[in-house]
Amino acid sequence: MWKIDDVLKNLKISLTPEREALIRSAYEFAEKAHGDQKRMSGDDYIQHPLGTALNLARIGMGSKTIAAGLLHDVPEDTDVTQKELEEKFGPEIAFIVSGITKLGKIKLRESKEELYLENLRKMFLAMASDIRVVLIKLADRLDNMETLSSLAEIKQKRIAMETLEVFVPIANRLGIGEIKSRLEDLSFKYLDPENYEYTRKLRDEVFGRRKKYVEKSVQELKKELLREGIRVIEIYGRVKSIYSLFQKMK
């Protein structure tokens, strides 16, 4: 179970008293507004805004974006109005939350035609007059995908397909590789469980060897750069995601 302290611990920005006060205030407001609401999994509903906020913290978003992430379902799923939200948190955060509500109305119909899908992606980005709205929507979708098992199979597949066809390309265009990979793997898990499991086992079998090879390469590259007088800030390597590995094998 997530707590607000998990969000604060994962912040990439410096935690000033003002930022902490805003995030905690948004959390307390959302927790009170959602009250006894439960998710399909049986968990308290507040776990979803907390999961969304945690995803935002991990990609380095600011306190206002995280606060809006905590509040993103309040006007739609509780008795709190948009006006009340604005009076409490100001027009900027209220505006972001209203944008998330609008984006929630875009749904994927039963079509895989690329022109339709591309138009849907463009509409998604065009409707969000503030890029923070899109980032929160991606973080929201990631948390929903991580708890998808509690839904009926037909819904799992519909949401997974929508994620793969709309949300993954948007995350890719925005350069958010971490969210893109996680959304791809989760979608793959529900759309093609047999190949997902096969590829996961294959990756895990060679993961140890590959990780050591990558680490050794990073260390040697650092040495060469330092030898040439180039200051190293950060070098990192990664192992392919399950979906990416499957696509490459195909």
Measured between alpha carbons, how far is 76 from 64 in angstroms, rounded to an integer? 19
Measured between alpha carbons, how far is 61 from 23 in angstroms, rounded to an integer? 12
Question: 76 an active-site residue?
Answer: yes
Measured between alpha carbons, how far is 243 from 110 in angstroms, rounded to an integer? 22
Question: 79 an active-site residue?
Answer: no
Q: What is the DSSP letter of 166?
A: I
Tally of CB atoms within 10 A around 110: 6
Strand partners, 44: 38
Please identify which of the residues 76, 87, 220, 224 carries the catalytic annotation.
Answer: 76
Q: What is the longest distance spanned by two Cα atoms in the chain?
A: 63
Please identify which of the residues 6, 31, 44, 77 carries the catalytic annotation.
Answer: 77
For residue 120, give both structure tokens. 């849907």
- Of 71, 96, 98, 67, the C-alpha closest to 82 is 98
Tally of CB atoms within 10 A around 135: 24
Measured between alpha carbons, how far is 219 from 11 in angstroms, rounded to an integer? 28
Alpha helix (H) ranges present in the chain?
A: 4-9, 17-34, 47-58, 63-71, 74-77, 82-89, 91-103, 114-127, 131-146, 153-162, 168-173, 177-191, 193-227, 242-249
Query: Which residue numbers are catalytic?
Result: 76-77
